């Protein structure tokens, strides 16, 4: 068989082609070794993208749920903190009212009424708490405060109890005004009558935040604190003993209302625990899905390193051959 030789131009083209192919192979292997994943996904999946597409879609859905879960977690924490503050200031005022109601010192009664007014302001401020710019006790009307100011509340309540002769009359008139849909719910409450829609945290699970400022348990504490704040109002003309009666009754009622607030805290705590459990499961699903995706695209680092060394050796050999061939000439031969 006669030998076959290549011309100089063909030989040069062959060397350049081989050099390019080896460099591309080395780049691919270097990328795979550094990322731990195959560079050519199509080849690794044999052109079948359906499974990995489903995994990526699941990851997008889970990530969206995780964002919703985080937002719900923050909302629940803010709500729990607000309820804790609401219960705390109510309990503090209750103790002061009971002590003051059994005292005969007029100056102390004035101070207690002032403390009650400050407490009403704190309670109103708490009802207007926001989470990420959203009112938490205003239902679907998250873009505005849940209630009017403390001054407006005391002014409207003062008008509602006008004409009360005894503390019992005062308490009855206040209860009627707070319970009347045309009273507190219309004049003071500025939120929506509709509760927030349940928050979807998985394709099967939701959580609800349906506590509004019109909740009777929240209104009761606000009512008794407001009555204590108005006990010193000159228009009522109450005697010292009547003021003391208002303070004691309001303080005792505040302690009862405090128990109702604690029940709200317990319910919110249950929601927090539910969100925490869902968040943990979502995170586990994301990790599992990422592992499944990685299993499809992962490369063996030892195998990739071995192939890379082989390609580097071939490239070095090619360079050596190229140098030797470039030094061949007829002059040197002769």
> Which pLDDT score, from 0 to 100, does residue 334 have?
54
> Which pLDDT score, from 0 to 100, does residue 258 have?
93
**Binning pLDDT at 50, 70 and 90, where does residue 1 land?**
very low
**Which structural domains are found in the chain, ordered by start?**
87-264 (1.20.1330)
Reduce the DSSP state of residue 194 to 3 states and report it.
coil
pLDDT digits 0-9 by tens, 250-273: 999 999 999 999 999 999 999 999
pLDDT digits 0-9 by tens, 283-293: 998 888 888 77
d(CA 209, CA 75): 9
Contact 91, 262 (CB under 8 A): no
Q: How large a percentage of the chain has pLDDT more than 90?
A: 58
Asked whether residue 322 carries a pLDDT value surpassing 80, the answer given is: no
Nearest to 176 by CA among 227, 139, 126: 227
pLDDT digits 0-9 by tens, 99-122: 888 765 555 778 899 999 999 999
Asked whether residue 316 carries a pLDDT value surpassing 80, the answer given is: no
More confident residue, 14 or 71: 71
Contact 135, 141 (CB under 8 A): yes
In terms of residues, how long is the chain?
A: 334
Interstrand relation of 134-135 and 199-200 (parallel, antiparallel or unpaired): unpaired
Nearest to 29 by CA among 305, 317, 314: 305
d(CA 248, CA 228): 9
Q: Rounded to whole angstroms, what are the CA distances from 177 to 123, 142, 174, 186?
A: 18, 25, 5, 10
- Angle, helices 216-230/167-179, rounded to nearest 10 degrees: 140
Interstrand relation of 206-207 and 130-131 (parallel, antiparallel or unpaired): unpaired
Contact 307, 234 (CB under 8 A): no
Q: Render 88-104 in DSSP notation, one character per residue.
A: HHHHHHHHHHHHHHT--
pLDDT digits 0-9 by tens, 188-242: 999 999 999 999 998 899 999 999 999 999 999 999 999 999 999 988 888 888 9
d(CA 67, CA 145): 25
Q: Rounded to whole angstroms, what are the CA distances from 98 to 44, 93, 119, 256?
A: 78, 9, 15, 13
Tell me the mean pLDDT in the region 32-55: 67
Tell me the mean pLDDT in the region 26-38: 69
């Amino acid at each position: 068989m006669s030998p076959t030789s290549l011309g100089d131009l063909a030989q040069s083209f062959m060397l350049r082609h081989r050099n390019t192919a080896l460099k591309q192979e080395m780049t691919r292997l270097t990328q795979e070794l550094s990322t731990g994943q195959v560079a050519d996904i199509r080849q690794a999946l044999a052109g079948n993208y359906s499974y990995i597409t489903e995994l990526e879609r699941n990851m997008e859905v889970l990530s969206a749920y995780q964002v919703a879960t985080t937002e719900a977690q923050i909302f629940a924490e803010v709500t729990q903190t607000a309820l804790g503050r609401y219960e705390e200031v109510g309990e503090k005022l209750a103790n002061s009212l009971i002590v003051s109601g059994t005292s005969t010192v007029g100056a102390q009664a004035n101070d207690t009424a002032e403390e009650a007014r400050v407490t009403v302001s704190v309670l109103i401020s708490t009802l207007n708490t926001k989470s990420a710019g959203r009112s938490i006790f205003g239902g679907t009307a998250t873009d505005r405060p849940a209630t009017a100011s403390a001054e407006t509340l005391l002014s409207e309540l003062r008008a509602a109890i006008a004409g009360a002769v005894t503390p019992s009359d005062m308490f009855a008139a206040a209860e009627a005004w707070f319970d009347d849909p045309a009273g507190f719910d219309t004049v003071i409450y500025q939120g929506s009558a509709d509760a927030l829609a349940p928050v979807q945290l998985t394709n099967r699970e939701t959580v609800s935040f349906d506590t509004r400022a019109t909740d009777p348990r929240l209104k009761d504490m606000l009512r008794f604190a407001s009555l204590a704040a108005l006990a010193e109002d000159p228009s009522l003309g109450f005697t010292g003993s009547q003021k003391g009666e208002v303070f004691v009754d309001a303080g005792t009622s505040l302690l009862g209302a405090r128990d109702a607030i604690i029940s709200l805290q317990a319910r919110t705590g249950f929601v927090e625990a539910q969100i925490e459990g869902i968040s943990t499961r979502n995170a586990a699903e994301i990790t599992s899905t990422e592992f499944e995706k990685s299993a499809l695209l992962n490369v063996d680092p030892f195998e990739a390193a071995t192939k890379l060394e082989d390609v580097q050796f071939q490239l070095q050999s090619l360079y050596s051959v190229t140098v030797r061939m470039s030094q061949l000439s007829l002059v040197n031969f002769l």
